[in-house]
Amino acid sequence: MTMDRSAIAPTHALALAAAAAASLAASTGCASLTPPFNGMKDAQMTVYRLQNFEPPAATAAAGTVGGLQIPAQIQQWITAGASLLPPGLLPPGLLPGTAPAAPAAPDAQRFHGFRILEWQPVNDASAKSDVTDLFGHGSNFQNTPPSCMYAEFGFAMAQPGAPTPADVLVSLSCEQVQAFNFQWPYAQTGITPGASQKVGKIIQEVFQGR
């Protein structure tokens, strides 16, 4: 009896195509994060809450709260509700009726120029994955011209084989990021609305919504 090879060929071709597709998906999944973030899922990470704006020393010393002029970008962000964060995670002194930020001590700890309000190591594997997902995909960033940098948050991520961590300032009010100690891999530094939501989720996870 002669076997009909024409009936077998399509089935064999489909099997090969399926195997190739699975292999491509697997390889794409492994390489889906942009370097250097593709090697950071298990890296040591720290997230900082920062005072995004500090009044000039003379104003702070005089205690003039009513006349304090908050930058327009921050005012717009607060007016819009800053809804990605609970009030307890906003920098002090920004919401109407709240006490202004206390003047910084001369030896106050800072992260790339911004006073550190609080910091937490990222120990949860899911939260680490969220951080690398945020910074490891170019689709989270857009061509928003940098007009300011009032950073509310800072991320420090250990770089395999490097003596210094990859640091990123994040300003939700300015919708911008700024990188230090490594080459930012994208042409864009503007944060998309979706990325802003991801930042809010990470911050609430790390600081437990307080």
Kindly tell me the sign of the dihedral angle through the C-alpha atoms of 187, 190, 193, 197.
positive
Q: Where are the domains of the chain?
A: 34-54+70-207
pTM reported for the whole predicted model: 0.79
Q: What kind and span of H or E run contains 155?
A: strand 153-157
pLDDT of residue 210: 57
pLDDT of residue 101: 76
Render the burial of 62-81: b for 16+ CB within 10 Å, e for the rest. Answer: eeeeeeeebeebbeebeeee
pLDDT of residue 50: 97
Residues 6+ apart with CB under 8 A from 160: 36, 39, 40, 43
pLDDT of residue 85: 86
Per-residue pLDDT of the chain (210 residues; tens, 9 = 90+): 444 544 444 444 444 444 444 444 333 344 499 999 999 999 999 999 999 998 776 544 444 444 467 899 999 998 887 877 888 888 988 877 777 777 888 899 999 999 999 999 999 999 999 999 999 999 999 999 889 999 999 999 999 889 999 999 999 999 999 999 999 999 999 999 999 999 999 999 999 865
pLDDT of residue 88: 84
pLDDT of residue 182: 97
